[in-house]
Structure 1
Amino acid sequence: MSTTEDRWFHRQGELARDGWESVVDASLPGWEHTGIRIADLTDGDTMDLADRGVERIIVPLAGTFRIVHHHHPGEWHTRLHGRSSVFDGPTDVLYLGAGTTAAITGEGRVAVAEARTTEHRPWKYIPPQETPVELRGAGRSSRQVHNFGTPQALDAVRLIVCEVITPAENWSSYPPHKHDENKPGDESRLEEIYYFESAPARLEGNPDAADGAFGMFSAYSSPAGNIDINARVGTGDIALVPFGYHGPAVAAPGYDLYYLNVMAGPDPERAWLISDDPAHAWVRQTWDGQEFDSRLPYTHDDKKGIRR
């Protein structure tokens, strides 16, 4: 691995702290605006969220959770019904504004996306049916995006969060793009976290191959800074993108790829504005006329008890 890859790419568990499997926050050198926490909970476990200087979105990855959150004028209890896995369609999520403390209990795997701010927004429970589901790209660039924490869907201060499902053999985060310059109306400055999971392909995968599931992820330098990530990624791995072009994220044959994106930055406007790498921007034009991948969207059919 290169020096920059060591700094900006972390395997599952390398950022473990205080009972969390992974913690990304401003204590990491060169990191300032965003954070993420990942935990596996069993019955009886409690994970505390004590920092009042962040806004958060609590995202069930797999399982069901209970959140006790404290903020003026009292205490609330919210149940997150969750889902079986990240490949089972959208989940319900909970947004908590700055000034809030909380405790998470339950069973399963949970993510907490964070952005530093002292400005307050009201808390909000978002059921899965209120999550905008976007089918993006075409052909082998088809992917499914859950936009529960984007500016169009949620009134937050800094935090921008979404999750992306890329079926086996498809490419996402492509063409490579960046958001590391303040160009009003064209590009915004945003740190970005990629948290990955991978599993045998939904329709044709072999469940016994789960331990070997993987994809690939790349990030490279722009005028704003030097970064070099070319990594095989699997469940629990985290890539940090402080600047530079990033993409593609590629799902290997036989394995679906998921990632949770957490973004925030210093610009006064909360906006996701990107610039494609000029060398590859033309690829978007090739999607015209291509059919969208018929395997998507991935949803959960409660009546039939099947996933598709």
Structure 2
Amino acid sequence: MTVTQDFHLKAGSTADGPYALHIDPERAGWGYSSLRILELPPGGSHALATGDSEWIVLPLSGGCTVLVDDRTFDLHGRESVFDGVTDFAYVPRDAHAQIASGAGGRFALTGARCERRLTARYGPASGVPVELRGTGNCSRQVNNFGAAGVFEADRLIAVEVLTPGGNWSSYPPHKHDECRPGAESELEEIYYFEIAPAPAPASDPGGRGAQGLGYQRVTPSGPGKDTDVLAEVRSGDAVVIPDGWHGPSIAAPGHDMYYLNVMAGPGAEREWLICDHPDHTWIRGTWPGRPVDPRLPLYQAPEATR
């Protein structure tokens, strides 16, 4: 079997100015989905021209202010993706936004080409549904901040997934690479990864533990849909998935895994409909009655302030 790494973008391989990662439709070879990881130093700012795409500004570490359409959104953010749910801002197409951070940080700009220009708005952390999927060593946590049916957008779908060390997620393998009304939606997808480091060694309690890793698999789903990836992923890596059965996403023991999913496609309806791989869907039948991994949730969304 030949396994290609063409769809695995290692950290830094697509760096472009202030962007540690820059994936647009042209670079990915598809029509809709984009992802940029913006790094701002203390006191830094960045101008974003949205063009023909809608965007969500999502803090990965640190907070920022987003100015767009004469409105200002203060995003409190978080220390890291492993520390809490974050607030975010929606920025419409055909707009100019300014993103500024007093303390600096890293911010995901998740984007999708779209037709409608919606209203710029703020998404509070308290409004993000936190979902637990699977049981046992298939348990994972999903932060549905930009999920279809949760947050309004024209085409963009985006969620965060947290997988405790040693667990498998995006499992059973599934696909969404063809339009079958009511059964499957056609969506391009980007996975962006961060991996929690090991605990600091006892000899250096203030230091940083060893870098973690995980694995991502994508297999062909049929004629003309031949994406084939087996990637060892580390913090800052991304995998682009134009088609194919994707999963599992495997977190190495001792290292929790985070990934950000960005999806968009040509369907008339904004929906996430998937088809399980027929060889592996039976695993869902083993979940009822088994406990969810007791390490989950890693955190909950904060309660809304009154």
Determine if the TM-score, normalized by the shorter chain, exceeds 0.5: yes
Stretches of structure 1 lacking an aligned partner (at least 5 in a row)? 303-308
Work out the CA distance in 2 between the residues paired with 1:215 and 1:296: 19
Q: Does structure 2 conserve the Cα–Cα contact (< 8 Å) formed by 1:5 and 1:229?
A: yes
Once the two structures are superposed, residues 94-131 of structure 1 have per-residue CA deviations (whole angstroms, 9 ceiling, x without a partner) of: 11222222121111111000000131111221111100
1:286 is aligned to 286
Structure 2 match to 1:276: 276
Matching residue of 2:42: 43
- Residue 123 of structure 2 is aligned to residue 126 of structure 1: yes
Task: State how far apart, in whole Å, the 1-side matches of 2:206 and 2:124 are.
Answer: 29
Q: Distance in 2 between matches of 1:156 and 1:296?
A: 29
2-structure distance, mates of 1:263, 1:201: 30
Work out which of the residue numbers 76, 82, 88 in structure 2 matches 1:93: 88
Q: CA deviation at 1:18?
A: 2.9
Matches within 5 A, 1:112-261: 112-200=109-197, 208=207, 210-223=209-222, 224-261=224-261
Partner of 2:17: 18
1:193–1:238: 8 Å Cα contact kept in structure 2? yes
What code does the residue aligned with 2:68 have?
A: H
Superposed displacement of residue 144, structure 1: 0.6
CA contact (8 A) 1:194 1:259 kept: yes
Deviation at 1:269, TM superposition (A): 0.8
Q: What amino acid does structure 2 have at the position aligned with 1:5?
A: T
Q: C-alpha offsets along residues 232-260 of structure 1, whole Å, 9 cap, x if unaligned?
A: 11110000000000000011011000000
CA contact under 8 A between 1:59 and 1:111: conserved in structure 2? yes
Q: Is 1:83 aligned with 2:78?
A: yes
The structure-2 alpha-carbon separation of the partners of 1:139 and 1:158, relative to structure 1 and needing over 3 Å to count, comes to: same
Structure 2 residue identity aligned to 1:84: E
Contact 1:133 1:147 in 2 (8 A): yes
**Greater than 4 Å deviation, 4+ residue runs:** 204-211
Partners in 1 of 2:208 and 2:138 — Cα distance?
24
Alignment TM-score, normalising by the size of structure 2: 0.91
**In the alignment, is the contact (CA less than 8 A) between 1:217 and 1:247 conserved in 2?**
yes
CA distance in 1, matches of 2:301, 2:283: 35
Percent of residue pairs identical: 44
Give yes or no for the alignment of 1:66 onto 2:50.
no
Q: Per-residue CA shift, 1:208-237, capped at 9, x if unaligned?
A: 554521111111111151111111111100
**Is 1:30 matched with 2:25?**
no
Deviates more, 1:187-196 or 1:220-229: 220-229
Note the aligned Cα RMSD (angstroms): 2.3
Offset from partner CA, 1:160-203 (integer Å, 9 cap, x none): 0000000111110000000001100000000000000001368x
**How far is the alpha carbon of 1:6 from its aligned partner?**
3.4
| Cα distance in 2, alignment partners of residues 301 and 226 from structure 1 | 38
Give the conservation status (yes or no) of the 8 Å contact 2:60–2:108.
yes
Over 3 Å counting, the alpha-carbon distance change for 1:19 and 1:82 in structure 2 is same
Call closer, same or farther: CA 1:146–1:217 in 2, change over 3 Å. same
Q: Which residue of 2 aligns with 1:266?
A: 266
Any stretches of 5+ residues in structure 2 without a counterpart? none
SS in 2 for 1:285: helix
- Structure 1 residue 29 displacement after superposition: 5.2
Shift of 1:51: 2.8
Tell me if structure 2 keeps the 8 A contact 1:168–1:201: no
1:254–1:80 Cα change, 3 Å: same
Secondary structure of 2:196 counterpart: strand
